[in-house]
Amino acid sequence: MSMGGKIYGIFGCPVAHSLSPAMHNAAFKKMSIKAVYVPFEVKPKFLGKAIESIKALGVCGVNITIPHKEAVIRYLDSLSREAKLIGAVNTVVSNKNRLFGYNTDVFGFLKSLRQDIGFNPRNRTIFILGAGGAAKAVCFGLALEGAKRIILSDLIDEKALELACEIELKTGCECIAMPMHSPGMGEIILNSQLLVNATPCGMKSGDPAGVNPAFLHKGLSVFDLVYNRKTQLIKSARKKKIKAVDGLNMLLYQGAKAFELWTGKRAPLGVMRKALRNADKHR
């Protein structure tokens, strides 16, 4: 960017749906910061080169999204305590030719969980779809907040089992892996108080709910990390008058935290929220 401006961005694949540029560019404008935030579609095979380009081009910081949150770690110089514990990074700060990795997803998720559906994880049973980078942040956040039991299900059984073992080992929280289409899934969900979708299922029009809507019950709250559309899961939950929230406010809160890491200034939350809502309406 010319005239001494700074460049920030987001690396992902896909990334065209991202609302982060609208949110961060509105924040820069409000705070009179000469900077621009740009989406970069980075295919997995080019991730290493893309991370190298941060230093080469003088980019000041980036967000990392699907599918790079775990793979990015090997290219960074240092990790925050949370990022190291979780094993996933969603925010990179470039400072003095060194790259620092953070995870603000866990902060954003827990804040939205508390504020938007009033859910306290302590002593609760939670069912999570997915075992990737986003699921890791969610699992660690819930475990550290005192969840009683976490059940994980992923299309790749080994991935869910590996994450379940890691959660138990590092936090002491009981964590169980269950095959995605196990006949016992219905009973598990019926005995859970929170259902979290931490998969990309729902990002595309026509995607299914991920779980049978018949399993959704009044004692359940639903949190879908997908934010670029009202997913079938959210629609099914709201039809049954079940507390349900999408990932939009999680995006806001994790973005505000990233903004503060990059700039050292307090994020203009109201402006960022308005920009997100406007961008969400107009796509």
26's tokens: 């509105």
C-alpha 35/C-alpha 93 separation (Å) is 15
Domain 119-242: give its CATH superfamily: NAD(P)-binding Rossmann-like Domain (3.40.50.720)
| Reported confidence tier of residue 2, pLDDT bands at 50, 70, 90 | very low
What are the tens digits of pLDDT across the range 41-98?
A: 999 999 999 999 999 999 999 999 989 999 999 999 999 999 999 999 999 999 999 9
CB atoms within 10 A of CB 193: 18
* Catalytic position from the list 69, 111, 136, 257: 69
Rounded to whole angstroms, the Cα distance separating 23 from 108 reads 15
pTM: 0.89
User: Which regions of the chain carry the CATH code 3.40.50.10860?
Assistant: 6-103+251-281
DSSP string computed for 148-203: SEEEEE-SSHHHHHHHHHHHHHHH--EEEE--TT-TTHHHHHHT-SEEEE-SSTTS
What is the residue-wise DSSP string for 205-216?
TT---SS-GGG-
Range(s) of the chain covered by CATH 3.40.50.720: 119-242
222-242 confidence digits (pLDDT tens): 999 998 778 999 999 999 999
Residue 125 half-sphere exposure, CB side, CA atoms within 13 Å? 10
Is the distance from CB of 63 to CB of 90 less than 8 angstroms? yes
Q: Is 281 a catalytic residue?
A: no
User: For 28-44, how does the pLDDT look when each residue is reduced to its tens digit (9 = 90+)?
Assistant: 999 999 999 999 999 99
Counting beta carbons within 10 angstroms of the beta carbon of residue 281, is it exposed (0 to 12), middle (13 to 18) or buried (19 or more)? exposed
Residue 132 reports pLDDT greater than 80: yes
- What is the CATH code of the structural domain delimited by 6-103+251-281? 3.40.50.10860
pLDDT band at 282 (very low <50, low <70, confident <90, very high): low
Q: Tell me the C-alpha distance between 65 and 58, whole Å.
A: 20
Which residue in 228, 220, 223 sits closest to 210, CA to CA?
A: 223
Report pLDDT for 192: 98
Strand partners, 66: none
Eight-class DSSP state of 229:
S
